[in-house]
A and B are shown apart, each in its own frame.
Chain A
């Protein structure tokens, strides 16, 4: 596998809805811990995983921590490739507008703010997964 100066391509694949199970939060914690190692990291959201990025989450009524704001700081951890599968959104009646806005500052483009979320087709996601050195599933 191609490998530039020890940097590997890591993809975290998220397939579960938040709150009903612990997977979404666990994934996010592993992502943040892994961010210390300066690897090429991307996150994929498919199946019920797309619900993790839904905007307007308010957990006061269920007494659990609302961890959705954390996705907004991923850019500060140099994680700015959040792939969301189009087919999964469609099956759930969702569009990009139903997801929260997540931005990062592009250091190669005068720190311009750019969106981190990229909606991709299942076929594109399949190719992206195939390019990875390491895929971690949650």
Chain B
């Protein structure tokens, strides 16, 4: 599978996650969100950028409870809770935000 953004084709897996992390560009996230009917706000980007940095450091897309805890530590308690994150990413903060960030599907999503 693949998605097309500004005339460029990006390979994805069958669930729409980017096949190659290094292909990612911000426009890819914008296009994926648009397909889900979401316009990305500053708050979305904060989480997306956080996830990219997290992956860079630890080589893993975190499970939702780990993401929530880590966000709380980095961005404050008002953001490190499921209510806030689910409002931003109603399809599941780990799954949906990881997808926009070009990461693989979090390990442990059963």
Contacts and interface: CB of A to CB of B under 8 A. Distances in A.
Given A73-B66, A77-B66, A36 B58 contact: no
23 contacts: A29-B107, A32-B107, A33-B107, A33-B108, A33-B110, A35-B63, A35-B108, A36-B63, A36-B110, A66-B59, A67-B59, A69-B58, A69-B59, A69-B60, A70-B58, A72-B58, A73-B58, A73-B62, A73-B66, A76-B66, A76-B69, A76-B70, A77-B108
Interface residues of B, number: 12
A66 to B, nearest CB: 7
B57 interface: yes
Interface of B: 57-60, 62-63, 66, 69-70, 107-108, 110
Interface of A: 29, 32-33, 35-36, 65-67, 69-70, 72-73, 76-77
Contacts of A67: 59
Contacts of A32: 60, 63, 107-108
Nearest to A35: B108
Given A32-B60, A33-B107, A35-B108, 6 more contacts: A33-B108, A33-B110, A36-B108, A70-B59, A77-B63, A77-B108
Contacts of A29: 107
